[in-house]
Every structure is written in structure tokens, then in C-alpha cells.
Chains A and B, each alone.
Chain A
């Protein structure tokens, strides 16, 4: 089997895996449901049927956001890694999430009603992610060391966490509750009415990434080569940061922080596919990211009778050892 067939077979297998996980995610739970319930919930919905109600109002949005968050964060990670030419880069470790957390915290804890609305939440999360993305971009221009940049991102995260703790301590009970709920982070917070908006932003981000696939391929060769090929480096970098912020801000707004997906999945796909073709990487990250979060969600659902595992904790459990593995490989 030659390598291009191998890649296609893997992509096909993961796609099939996603479909199976989606079906499992819709069926498994306290109340067992059948295929006909799933069909009816989507195409022929009646809210008097309990099974259909549960699928449509609880499981369907959760499965949708699992697919989108996994895909979005993995693409964001791929973009960061190519931008900084650093396999240790990712939206979480570089503190892009922290930017969202900070602005959302400032908004919610200020007590102003607007920031508790859907639009206010997305707006503040996107703004925070974009500002912190620019900040990291600026910092990276003088921290050339790969591990140095990682450390900087981690420090940024700690710094923001400290500020948020102080904000929490000094805010009123009402706004604190809203923020505490948000910061728990879970795939359950999304309602079916929000899914179209989230999908739309996600598709916009994917489309944007598709448009810069070619310059991304050249950027791998370094900044000078990219400039010599006639690309405007400044606008390319801004485009990358913008798309990354869009993905990260979107997911952070609706699910809270989800760690390490954006770092682990792009590394895994690059190792598995052994390519720098960003068209293929985009596809692979989308599928593997979705598969990963869907699996995590299934584990969480399976354990939900005994313990409630937050999604962020589970991705960290898998992701952090993987980062350590990459670090050891790099440092040795």
C-alpha cells in the first residue's frame, strides 16, 4: 500500500469512527433511544416525546459542539505551530484561551447585563483571543527559542489566572455565579438554538484557513522564503492570528477553556501523515480533532453515573503527558 492510499484509508477510517461516535453520543444515556427517535428528533420533531426531546435539546447540541470544538481547536493549533514554526505552540499553551477568559471575566464580573448575553459573551471572548494573539505574535519576534515561547505562554496563563482570582474575590454574588458557571467549561452549555451561529462562525474559519493553505505551505520554509515568494508576511501573520482567535474565542465562549487539544492533535497528525501539505493537514486536524473530543465526551458520559469529569480535565489528562513526550524528544 503506497503512502497516498494509506493517508486516504486513515482519513476514511476516522470519518467512519466519527459517524459511529456521533450515533453513540446520541443514543447512550439514562434514557435509551433508538434510531427512529434520532431521525424524528432531527426531521420530525415533537416535543411531547421524551426521547426526542432529550436528543434534540441535550444530546444533539452536545455532539455538535464536540465535533466543532475538536475540529476548531485542532486547526487553531496547526495554524499556531506553522506561524511560530514551533511544534510546542497551541492556542491553550500560548495563552490565547487566557485572553478570552480575561475579557469574559471582566465582562461578566462587571455586572453589565450585555456581557451576559450570547453576543456579549462571543464578542468579549473573540476580542480577548485576538488581543492576546497579537501580544504573543509581538513577543515571538524577540523570543526566538521554541521552549522559551512555551514558557512565556504558560506564564501569561498564570498571570491572567491570578487577575481573574482577584476579580472574583471582589465581585458580587450575582455576577460571580454567571462567571463560575461559564468557567467550569463543558459541552453541555450549548443549546440547539445556538448551534447554527456556532457552525456559521466555524465554517467561516475553515473557509479562511482554506484560503491561506498555499502561503502556509511556503511559510514552513521560513519568513525570508515566504517574502521572496511574494507574500506579504505581515498580512499573512495577521490572518493566521485572526483565524486562530476566531476558533479559540468561539469555543472558549461556549465551552470554557479546553486544554491541549490544539497542541496534541496537530502534532499527532503531522507525525501520522508525515507531510507539510496544509490542505491535507487541515482535513486531518478537522477529523482527528472531532474524533478526539467525541471520544472524550463518550468517556465522560459513560462515567457520568459515578463521577462528573469536566472536559478540560480529561483533555489535560491525555494532552499533558503527550506534551511531555514531545518535550523529552526535543530536549534529548
Chain B
């Protein structure tokens, strides 16, 4: 916009300025048009209805982000089956990409007629704030009636739990139910390991020895592209899980009081990770490489290991086929209980203003029940519950199912570190870029994290 050159008298400007200011002062406070709903009361299990077929004619509006490949396929299939089973319930589906959903959901929820079922991101700045604003319905009564709490492992359900005021994450009421699981682990190139004369490592020491051997053998030991800021979080989380007790990681990652980033164990983890940079285990310029080009390079046979989440399974399977392997990060000793970063896909939640909570809950149950888990498997997704009961082809997909089943069964999942505080994803991502580029020492790095964590944990009470 080019500014007008026309002479404008000082009086006109003053009038304009006064107008803007008056407007600012007299308009009502932001958020006052949609007064917060009184915190939805907990309903007793006996008060909810599960006979969806007898609820009369209902239209459910569902907002999801299942837009890609296998995700879209399972949603379509399950929705069709639901409408066939309950002809009285009609689904109005609105699906958007993850980013689009994230930016529009906030506005939609504060309106007077929000959708009935929404897929809300678990983190504090999404689900946490919605809970605080009283916009989501606690689902505990439904969970009891439908038996969700027995079918879903506790280490999975806690990612959708908040206290009623939204302050405590990972504990309290249940606000959503996810369909799929995810776990961060180690992808490896079996052919390259064989060529180097190695077996998939069974212990953490073996793993590091394998990295060393790969380096000596002229391979890229570990593929990493950290331009997008967050990918190194998963690598760091994996190393941290070898050194720091799981309960401490959970406390840190849920942003609760009572832990610290500056413990000797954390220092050791950070130093080990920096050691990997020094020893040249990552490719030169990894901070300037994008996430997608990096895993694509791994798919094309560049790199022996890749620390990443199971969401890459389908694409890497296509690229590497039977050369691809996946395992949980090995422990200090062979057979040690698993500890790894993991969680769930976005949970489905019911809005507090929905006039049809019973129908909505029936829908959520339908897309997460035992049959739904089979549909999820057949469409190439990783079902979050009953994972061990699914039959899949031997190979990388089976590796992933076994790994996730083992991790959830032994409650070995630790939360994503960026859940800790609303700003932590940014703080940690930027700090890791600094650390890995040697712009910050391990101590400076941990002090930065400690400051963000402590500030939040103290003020959050």
C-alpha cells in the first residue's frame, strides 16, 4: 500500500485517530460475545445412553484431519459403516489438513454452534486451552460404559487427560479418544547392516558401536534433516530415554513441578548427542537439510539408521521394501524394559455445546472399537489399541506393530518433550539447533530448557 500524498489537514487526522480510539475503548472486551460455558458437569455413567439406534434423527457434524492416503480411506470406510448401522444418524463430515484444522478449530469452538465431534491436538495450546475454556465434554462416563479404559492402555489414555481447569496435563478427566498410535524408534537399512557385517543392535552400546562401524565403512551412520526445527527433538528424546529415568521424563514433558533439566543424567544425554555430531555420525549441513529430503534420502539408501516416528512407515516401506527394519531404541542391557517417545494420533473429542453427546459418543466408540482397529490395520494405519491382536505381513509393518504393542504393554511410552509448556516446542527446537551447531554448550542448552520449564511449572501451580 502506498501512502496517499494528498495533503491531509491535521484536524482530519485527529478526528480519525479519535475515532479509532473511541472504537477501541467502547467495543466490548474480546471473547465477551461467547461467554465461557460453565464447566461442564461430570455426568454419571448411568445417565448416558449407549443405544445409538434409539436416539431418533440426529445429524452429527464431525471435523477431522484424516485427509491423506490410508487415513482418509479408513475414515471413509468407518463412516459408511456407521451410517449403515445407525440409519437415524447422519454424518456431516468436514475434513481439513492438520494445519488448517489447527487454525480454524479455535474459532469454530468459540462460536455458538460448534461441530459435535472434533479432532483436537493433545497439546496445551490446543486441547488444554479448549478444556480451560469449558468447550470440551469430559468423556469419563462414556469411557466407563463403553469400556474404553480397559481396552486402551493407561499410558495412551493419559495423552487425552486434563484436569477440569486445563492446568494439569496427563491426569484428570478424559477428553478424547484416539484411533491410531505413534512411536518414535529406529529405522534401519537391513542390507547396509549386513554389508557392514552387523546384526540389528540389541543394546545401546551395540547401537553406538554400529554407528561407529558405519562411519568407518564410509556410510552415513544416521540420517537427519533438522531445518524444520523439530526433527532433532526425536533424536534427543531417544538419547535422553537411555539415560534419564522414564518417570522424570514424563514429569518434565507434562510440564509438572518436581523434576529438573539440569540433572547429571540429562547432562550425560546431551553430551552423548553432541558426541555424535563430533564423531560425524550425521551428514554435514544437517541443520540446513529439510525433514522430508532427509527421510527420502534414507529411503533411497543413504544412511544406515534413521530415528523417526512410525508415521514414516508406509512411505519408507514403499521405498526400501524388505530392506527396511524398525525397532524400539535398545536399552542398556538386552531385554531391558522399553522407554521411548510415543503417543497417539489426534484424539476425537465431543464439544460441550453439542446437543447430541450420546450420539457423538456412540460415533467415537464405533470408530475406535475392535472392528475399527481391524479396518485401521487393513488400511495401513497403526491401531492404538488391540495392536498385538492384529495380523499383518512379516516385515517392517510387523516390526512396527510389535514395537508399539511392546511399548504400550509395558507402559514404556514417554510423552513428546514439546508437550511440556505452550512454548516448549519452539524453545527446544531452537535450542537443539544451537546445540548441534555448537552455538550453545550442553550447560547453556539445559539452562535454556530449565528456564522455560520452571517458569511455566511455577506459574501453573
Q: Do A and B come from one complex?
A: no
B residues at A contact (CB < 8 Å): none
A residues at B contact (CB < 8 Å): none
